[in-house]
Amino acid sequence: MKILYGMQRPDEGEIRVNGAPVGFHTPADAIAAGIGMVHQHFMLADNLTVLENVVLGSEPRRGGLALDFAAARKKIKEISDAYGLGVRPDVPVEDLGVGDRQRVEILKVLYRGARILILDEPTAVLVPHEVDELFDNLRGLVREGLTILFISHKLDEVLRVADEITVIRRGTTVATVNPRDVTSRKLAELMVGSELPSPETRESTVTDVVALSVRDLTVRTGDGRPVVDNVSFDIHKGEVLGIAGVEGNGQAELVEAIMGMRPCEAGALTLAGADISQWSTLKRRAGGIGYIPEDRHRHGLLLESPLWENRILGHQTRRPNIRGPWIDRAGARADTRRIVEEYDVRTPGIDVDAATLSGGNQQKLIVGREMSGHPVLLIASHPTRGVDIGAQAAIWDHLRTARAAGLAVLLISADLDELIGLSDTLKVILRGRIVADVDPANVTPEQLGSAMTGAGEETV
Amino acid sequence: MNGFLDRVLGRVKLGGWLAVVAPLIAVVFAVLITSVVLLAAGKDPVLAFTTLADYGTQPRSMAMILNTGVMYYISALAVAVGFRMNLFNIGVDGQYRLAAVIAAGLGGAAVVPGVLNIVLVIVVAVVVGALWAAIAGLLRVYRGVSEVISTIMLNAIATGLGSWLVSEHFGVLTGNDLGTRPIPDDAHMPGIPLIAGTPVLVNGFIVVAVLLGIAYWVVLNRTRFGFELRATGKSESAAVASGVSVKKMIVVTMVMSGAVAGLIGMPELLGASYKYSNNFPAGLGFTGIAIALLGRNNPVGMAVGALLWSFLDNSSNQLQLLDISKEIVQIMQGVVVLSVIIAYELVHRYRIVAEQRRVSRELAAPQEAPKAEAAA
């Protein structure tokens, strides 16, 4: 999608528009070829009017300097009427609702002459009747001969609006189907993969000592919409609790709430018997939560600092890094060498910047760091995302070993191999709610797929 | 294994020698640009630079350069504390002037005798500077006001407040000069005869400046607080995930920066003019920003930068003897700062790329060895 819009370059392959091969270097090239993109997050300036937003960046000129607002208003009116968008050009964007804003975004790309529209998760922010209006608009656009690429996780919507469906899983095309020939169940199965990995046979190490208990956890966005909705679960010592779900269904917010990085309403949040709901992130970490963040570059590392300083990050209140108010350089450096050794971090030394390591080695360093200091609970958010296969296997091994030693693990992942291979218990999250409990030992792709995508809302 | 030799040979960090080369290149570049400007004005650049150098190496000028440099250095430290956390304390200027006014007023009143008065003046200055800066910190944390905007505005308020305090409360008229009552003789900071061959003494605050420089380095590089500060500056998101309270860090850093800023006016107040009047040096806060950039927030680099700046400022008058406008020095100062920033950025990018290449090369080598064995 980013490649289609010229934001990234492909490594190989080619793109053809109307039969002619094209190469995009910037979004401007894509726009010139008639491709327009409506982003999931609106890119509008709130304090400007619809008209000003639409012309921003491609203002019609009059006499070289002056802006020709009259011509722009006329053109916007024409486009709006032609496709039945009903956009009022002189209203400030801040006064518009979400559905109207989306129509402004669509108008913006049409104004630039787009004949092919890419819509990225356009319904994510809409309420049902707005979705209906959007679909009416889209059908209008198609009638006028435009092409629309509609990207969504929601199967029922895709089935309703599309003329052809292509399923992509892990970056490859899995299938292209006709919506009249498939059911949403069949589609879900395609998305999940028809063969699920079978969990490795092994001794269960689950004990009945609860390490983390979460009750009625709710996280709201700024406008009060719940992104995590009444989530409750217990993780026992020696248990890996997997959370499966299509990305963007509240997993990140759930993790940040447990880490204390995001305000939440919770019935109770207890770690090894202690109420931690009022604790700061630092206290929660010191109290025994290890955290492998989803985005290691943003949350896990100081890229331009040496490895041994990264060893201190997040553990800056504990030995061997600290002695009183002082940094214990010798202690931190020695322990970094231990991690490099034990976790097989491939690096020429501990004085190189974290940025110079490969993703897999960066991740092994983080895993090693978060396993230090005997954590009670490890939150592993996409622990093997973007790492090579060797590092992936190593990280899985480390998680299994730690679990056998009594560590409780909250595993968030979009990788079903990982979830089914590691988890003792599997829960499915959809739109911020836990919608299903699944036994990883004998779940079928249909069950998992329909639970993850909301194709059927029943408990499996 | 990664020992001293590796560092000397640049195997561990190319930053080592490149860090010295970059500012040198920048200074040479600035000399070249200035020469071009001088030539364009029909003046002889060689004569101009030798005049500057001659003046700068005389004992009397060296003492004066040190004295101005002390103030510049403290100012740079105040700015650099914020810079390390990505906080732009533009308000160092207002913080030191307001601190100096209030401290001068209290010192002139001579509430306590002798050395105690010196201590009182310094403590008051530090507290006033810290409190004034705290306003900007609190506004940023609780109201989301950019510290750049708020400190610029606070500078203007500090100017007005200072004039009002001098004219309405602390002021005495000596001839035409309205200033605070002079601090009594027993509370003067003694000078140090550091440079032989001149009766000009070096301001006693040079000791304070050196201690501050060392404290700055120790706090930032050797303490947990300094680690959290640098981590926040490098990646706020990573700092949050690691449990650093960014809000607290913003306020504390701002307060520290302001406290150091409070000291900027002290060498002048306790070691030279002994009062705050219209002749009190202004604009030192902005000089500090330039020097912090020049020295890349490094305590030694900033010391060199402060001396260079002070040398240029002190010797600029000599150019007028050659019928060259002294403002040529400002051109040079400006070009130095700009070229240092550019040179460092280029060196920095070069370093990252070179290090990545080096890491992958070193990692590739041992993996090839077993293959070779297997082949044999």
- Mean pLDDT, to the nearest integer, of A397-402? 87
Q: What is the pLDDT of residues A55-109, one digit of tens each?
A: 877 777 666 667 777 888 888 888 888 777 777 888 888 777 777 888 888 888 8
Q: What is the pLDDT of residue A194?
A: 61
Q: Which of A355, A430, A338, A419 is nearest to A384 (CA)?
A: A419
Boundary (domain end) residue, out of A145, A161, A192: A192
In 3-state terms chain B splits into helix, strand, coil percentages (rounded to 5) of: 75, 5, 20
Confidence label for B151 from pLDDT (cuts 50, 70 and 90): very high
The neighbour count for residue A244, using CB atoms within 10 Å, is 29
Q: Which of B134, B90, B156 is nearest to B253 (CA)?
A: B134
Shortest alpha-carbon distance between residue A258 and chain B (Å): 11
Q: How many domains does chain A have?
A: 2
Mean pLDDT estimate for chain A: 81
State the Cα–Cα distance between residues A3 and A118, nearest whole angstrom.
12
Query: Which of A202-206, A219-223, B309-313 is most confident?
Result: B309-313
Chain B neighbors of A293, CB-CB under 8 A: 241
Asked whether residue A307 falls in the same domain as residue A236, the answer is yes
B-interface mutation test, from A281, A303, A308, A321, most B Cβ less than 10 A away: A281
Q: What is the pLDDT of residue B257?
A: 95
Q: Which of B8, B14, B367, B228 is nearest to A358 (CA)?
A: B367
Of the candidate ranges A202-206, A259-263, A269-273, B249-253, the one whose mean pLDDT is the lowest: A202-206
Asked whether residue A303 falls in the same domain as residue A172, the answer is no
Please answer whether residues B182 and B117 qualify as being in contact, where contact means their C-beta atoms are separated by less than 8 angstroms. no
Find the CB nearest A304 among B1, B223, B234: B234
Q: What is the pLDDT of residue A434?
A: 86
- Mean pLDDT, to the nearest integer, of A334-346? 87
In Å, how far are A215, B106, B204, B299, B310 from B92, measured between CA atoms? 49, 21, 22, 18, 18
Residue B98 has pLDDT above 80, yes or no: yes
Whether A197 maps to a domain, the answer reads no
- Mean pLDDT, to the nearest integer, of A426-439? 85
Cβ-defined contact of B235 to A316 (cutoff 8 Å): no
The alpha carbon of residue A420 and the mean position of all alpha carbons in its chain are separated, in whole angstroms, by 20
State the Cα–Cα distance between residues B34 and B309, nearest whole angstrom.
15
Q: What is the pLDDT of residue B127?
A: 96
B-interface mutation test, from A280, A283, A298, A302, most B Cβ less than 10 A away: A302
- Mean pLDDT, to the nearest integer, of A146-158? 81
Q: Which two tokens stand for residue A165?
A: 């469906």
Q: Which two tokens stand for residue A259?
A: 């880490």
Find the CB nearest B234 among A293, A305, A357: A305
Q: What is the pLDDT of residues B226-280, one digit of tens each?
A: 999 999 988 888 888 888 888 999 999 999 999 999 999 999 988 888 888 888 8
State the Cα–Cα distance between residues B354 and A353, nearest whole angstrom.
12
- Mean pLDDT, to the nearest integer, of B161-165? 91
Q: Which residues is A243 bridged to in the sheet?
A: A412, A427
State the Cα–Cα distance between residues A205 and A243, nearest whole angstrom.
19
- Mean pLDDT, to the nearest integer, of A181-206? 70
Q: Which two tokens stand for residue A285?
A: 């970490």
Q: Which residues is B180 bridged to in the sheet?
A: B171
Q: What is the pLDDT of residue B375?
A: 39
Please answer whether residues B194 and B66 qualify as being in contact, where contact means their C-beta atoms are separated by less than 8 angstroms. yes
- Mean pLDDT, to the nearest integer, of A425-443? 83
Asked whether residue A136 falls in the same domain as residue A89, the answer is yes
Q: What is the pLDDT of residue A90?
A: 82
Q: What is the pLDDT of residue B148?
A: 92
Chain B neighbors of A252, CB-CB under 8 A: none
Q: What percent of chain A has pLDDT over 70?
A: 92
Altogether, the residues listed in chain B come to a count of: 376
Non-local (6+) Cβ contacts of B270 within 8 A are: B107, B118, B121, B122, B183, B187, B188, B189, B205
Residues of B with CB under 8 A from a CB of A: 1-2, 12-13, 221-228, 230-231, 234-235, 237-238, 240-245, 352, 355-356, 358-359, 362-363
Q: What percent of chain A has pLDDT over 90?
A: 2
- Strand-strand pairing, A35-38 and A116-120: parallel
Find the CB nearest B227 among A283, A312, A348: A312
Asked whether residue A41 falls in the same domain as residue A76, the answer is yes
Residue B7 has pLDDT above 90, yes or no: no
Asked whether residue A373 falls in the same domain as residue A432, the answer is yes
Output A275-283 pairs: Cβ under 8 A, ≥24 positions apart: A280/B243, A280/B245, A281/B240, A281/B241, A281/B242, A281/B243, A282/A317, A282/B242, A282/B243, A282/B244, A282/B245, A283/B243
Chain A neighbors of B1, CB-CB under 8 A: 349
Whether A205 maps to a domain, the answer reads no
Chain A neighbors of B240, CB-CB under 8 A: 261, 281, 299
Chain B neighbors of A283, CB-CB under 8 A: 243
A-interface mutation test, from B13, B220, B227, most A Cβ less than 10 A away: B227
Asked whether residue A315 falls in the same domain as residue A361, the answer is yes
Asked whether residue A30 falls in the same domain as residue A152, the answer is yes
Return the amino acid letter for B154: L
Note whether A222 contacts B: Cβ–Cβ < 8 A: no
Q: Which residues is B172 bridged to in the sheet?
A: B179
State the Cα–Cα distance between residues A213 and B359, nearest whole angstrom.
43
Q: Which residues is A17 bridged to in the sheet?
A: A20
User: Could you give the count of Cα atoms lying within 13 Å of B39 in the half-sphere of its Cβ?
Assistant: 7
Q: What is the pLDDT of residue A125?
A: 66
State the Cα–Cα distance between residues B224 and A321, nearest whole angstrom.
9
Cβ-defined contact of B224 to A349 (cutoff 8 Å): no
Strand A210-220's sheet: what is its strand order?
A226-236, A210-220, A268-271, A274-275
Whether A460 maps to a domain, the answer reads no
Asked whether residue A236 falls in the same domain as residue A378, the answer is yes
Q: What is the pLDDT of residue B376?
A: 35
Q: What is the pLDDT of residue B14?
A: 42
Cβ-defined contact of A280 to B245 (cutoff 8 Å): yes
Asked whether residue A215 falls in the same domain as residue A140, the answer is no
Whether A198 maps to a domain, the answer reads no
Whether A459 maps to a domain, the answer reads no
In Å, how far are A154, A188, A190, A191, A457 from A446, measured between CA atoms? 16, 7, 9, 10, 12
Find the CB nearest B2 among A286, A303, A351: A351
Angle between helices B15-40 and B299-321 (to 10 degrees): 20
Shortest alpha-carbon distance between residue B243 and chain A (Å): 4
- Mean pLDDT, to the nearest integer, of A22-31? 78
Q: What is the pLDDT of residue B261?
A: 94
Residue B372 has pLDDT above 60, yes or no: no
pTM: 0.76
Q: Which of B370, B357, B360 is nearest to A347 (CA)?
A: B360
Chain A neighbors of B10, CB-CB under 8 A: none
Separation of first and last alpha carbons in chain A: 34
Cβ-defined contact of A281 to B243 (cutoff 8 Å): yes
> Which CATH number does the domain housing residue A295 bear?
3.40.50.300
Find the CB nearest A299 among B2, B238, B356: B238
Chain B neighbors of A347, CB-CB under 8 A: 359, 363
Shortest alpha-carbon distance between residue B153 and chain A (Å): 25
Confidence label for A456 from pLDDT (cuts 50, 70 and 90): low
State the Cα–Cα distance between residues B232 and A259, nearest whole angstrom.
18
State the Cα–Cα distance between residues A404 and B119, nearest whole angstrom.
62
Residue A235 has pLDDT above 60, yes or no: yes
Find the CB nearest A351 among B12, B231, B244: B12
- Mean pLDDT, to the nearest integer, of A32-50? 80
Cβ-defined contact of A280 to B243 (cutoff 8 Å): yes
Confidence label for B10 from pLDDT (cuts 50, 70 and 90): very low
Q: Which of B150, B149, B119 is nearest to B134 (CA)?
A: B150
Please answer whether residues A349 and B1 qualify as being in contact, where contact means their C-beta atoms are separated by less than 8 angstroms. yes
Non-local (6+) Cβ contacts of B237 within 8 A are: A298, A299
Q: Which residues is A62 bridged to in the sheet?
A: A66
For the stretch B160-196, what's the b/e string if a residue is b when 16 or more beta carbons lie within 10 angstroms of its beta carbon?
ebbeebbeeebbeeeeeeebbbbbeeebbbebeeebe
State the Cα–Cα distance between residues B353 and B369, nearest whole angstrom.
25
Give me the total of CB pairs closer than 8 Å, taking one residue from chain A and one from chain B: 101
Non-local (6+) Cβ contacts of A115 within 8 A are: A34, A145, A146, A147
Whether residue A60 has a cis bond before it, omega within 30° of 0: no
Return the amino acid letter for A40: Q
- Mean pLDDT, to the nearest integer, of B38-66? 88
Q: Which residues is A271 bridged to in the sheet?
A: A212, A274
Asked whether residue A224 falls in the same domain as residue A170, the answer is no
State the Cα–Cα distance between residues A167 and A37, nearest whole angstrom.
20
Whether A187 maps to a domain, the answer reads yes
Cβ-defined contact of B245 to A350 (cutoff 8 Å): no
Please answer whether residues B75 and B290 qualify as being in contact, where contact means their C-beta atoms are separated by less than 8 angstroms. no
Q: Which chain A residue's Cα is nearest to B218?
A: A326
Chain B neighbors of A346, CB-CB under 8 A: 363
Q: What is the ipTM of this complex?
A: 0.76
Which residues 404-433 of A are in CB contact (within 8 Å) with B? none
Q: Which of A61, A29, A44 is nearest to A96 (CA)?
A: A44
* Helix boundaries (H) for A201-313: 251-259, 281-286, 307-312
Return the amino acid letter for A52: E
Shortest alpha-carbon distance between residue A242 and chain B (Å): 21
Confidence label for B12 from pLDDT (cuts 50, 70 and 90): very low
Of the candidate ranges A23-32, A281-290, A402-411, B302-311, the one whose mean pLDDT is the lowest: A23-32
A-interface mutation test, from B1, B4, B217, B235, most A Cβ less than 10 A away: B235
Asked whether residue A91 falls in the same domain as residue A234, the answer is no
Note whether A313 contacts B: Cβ–Cβ < 8 A: yes
Cβ-defined contact of A314 to B243 (cutoff 8 Å): yes
Q: The domain containing residue A118 runs over which residues?
A: 15-192
The neighbour count for residue A99, using CB atoms within 10 Å, is 18
Residue B370 has pLDDT above 70, yes or no: no
Q: What is the pLDDT of residue B158?
A: 93
Confidence label for A170 from pLDDT (cuts 50, 70 and 90): low
Chain B neighbors of A357, CB-CB under 8 A: 359
Asked whether residue A165 falls in the same domain as residue A220, the answer is no
Q: What is the pLDDT of residue A403?
A: 87
Confidence label for A438 from pLDDT (cuts 50, 70 and 90): confident
Confidence label for A391 from pLDDT (cuts 50, 70 and 90): confident
